[in-house]
Structure 1
Amino acid sequence: MEAARLIEATRRALAQARTVRDVVVEAWQAQALAEAVGSHLAVHGPFEARAAARGLGEAGGRASGALGRAALCAGGLRAAQLTEVRDPWAALTGLGELLGEVGIALVGVACACEEDAVYWQCIEGIDAADETADRIGGLLRRLALRERGGAA
């Protein structure tokens, strides 16, 4: 499945999440998607951006561990369905926006929860979403430089 469709599916699922567990699962799904998109672009993307894409994949992988694989619902990983990234710029922009939404949702859960473990899991997830979004910004800058013909 194309990256933009997976990003939109994750965005819809996050918007429909009603429980703490659902929000955490969707945060993890978004990070796994960042890992998959980064890994895909590290192999198939523009040569000048491959190192930055590899960094995005690694950040997404670390972040998904921080959110806890146990939170994954029985439906499996949406990211495993990734087959192509037709428009890297649009996919990365959409993924960055999704990670911003994840951060906001996790803040809401952290503010409302009464369990310390859930609170700290949310804080780790917020930090992870921020780090992954920073990696996306770096990758977008590399792609912009490439388009302008500059060195990265």
Structure 2
Amino acid sequence: MDAVRLIVTSRRALAGGGDAPEVMTEVWQAQALAQAIGSRLAVSGPPQLRGEAIGLTELAGRGCGVLDRPDLDTADLRAAQLTELGDARQALLCLGGLLGEVGIALVGLACAADDEGTYWQCMEAIDAADESRDRVLWMLRKLEDGNQGVPERAAG
């Protein structure tokens, strides 16, 4: 499945809410998907993004690492369903939106946390999601800068 479709699926699942464990599962899924997209960009994305994509992979991996790994079957793991990147710019735009929504969901969970452990887990995950989103935005700027040097094709 292509990156944008998986991101849209993640955004819908995250927006669907549910109890705290369900939201944490969706947050973990989103970070795992960001990690997979970063890996794909590092290997086969635009050359000017490859270094930044490695950084995204590391940051998103940290985002997964600070959360308890959900009990998911491999078939339910969206990151494992990524078969193609598609348009890198579109994928990054959508991923940036997803990571922003992840941060918002985590703030809500942190505010409602009953225990200090959950609160701090959310805080660390917020930081990781924010850094991942910053990296995505940086990659979008690099893509835009790269397109500035390419002359427009004449209509005809």
TM range (shorter): over 0.9
Supply the distance in 2 between the matched residues of 1:47 and 1:101 (Cα, whole angstroms): 28
Q: Which amino acid aligns with 1:35?
A: Q
Give 1:55-70 correspondences, 5 Å limit: 55-69=55-69
Structure 2 residue 72 is matched with structure 1 residue 73: yes
Q: CA deviation at 1:72?
A: 4.2
Letter of the 1:14 partner, please give it. Answer: L
Distance 1:14 1:63 in 2: 16
Which residue identity is paired with 2:118?
V
Name the SS of the counterpart of 2:42 in structure 1. Answer: helix
How many residues of Structure 1 are paired with residues of Structure 2 in the alignment? Answer: 149
**Percent identical:** 54
Aligned residue number for residue 30 of structure 1: 30
The Cα shift of 1:124 comes to: 1.0
Tell me how far apart the structure 2 counterparts of residues 7 and 14 of structure 1 sit (CA, whole Å): 10
CA distance in 1, matches of 2:71, 2:13: 13
CA-to-aligned-CA distance 1:97-140 (integer Å, 9 cap, x gap): 11111111111111112111111111111111101001101111
Task: Give the TM-score, by structure 1 length.
Answer: 0.92
Q: Would you identify which runs of 4 or more consecutive aligned residues in structure 1 move more than 4 Å?
A: none
| 1:47 alignment counterpart | 47
CA RMSD of aligned residues (A): 1.4
Partners of 1:4 and 1:90 within 8 A in 2: yes
Structure 1: tracts of 5 or more residues without a match: none
Structure 1: distance between partners of 2:93 and 2:67: 22
| Structure 2 Cα separation of the partners of residues 72 and 35 of structure 1 | 18
CA contact (8 A) 1:28 1:72 kept: no
Greater Cα radius of gyration, structure 1 or 2: 2
| Aligned residue in 1 for 2:17 | 17
* Per-residue CA distance 1:8-40 (angstroms, 9 max, x = gap): 010111111211101111111111111111100
List gaps (5 residues or longer) in structure 2: 151-156
Question: Per-residue displacement from partner, 1:32-89 (whole Å, max 9, x unpaired)?
Answer: 11111110011111112111111111111111111222x3434642011101111111
1:65-104 to 2 correspondences below 5 Å: 65-69=65-69, 71-74=70-73, 76-104=76-104
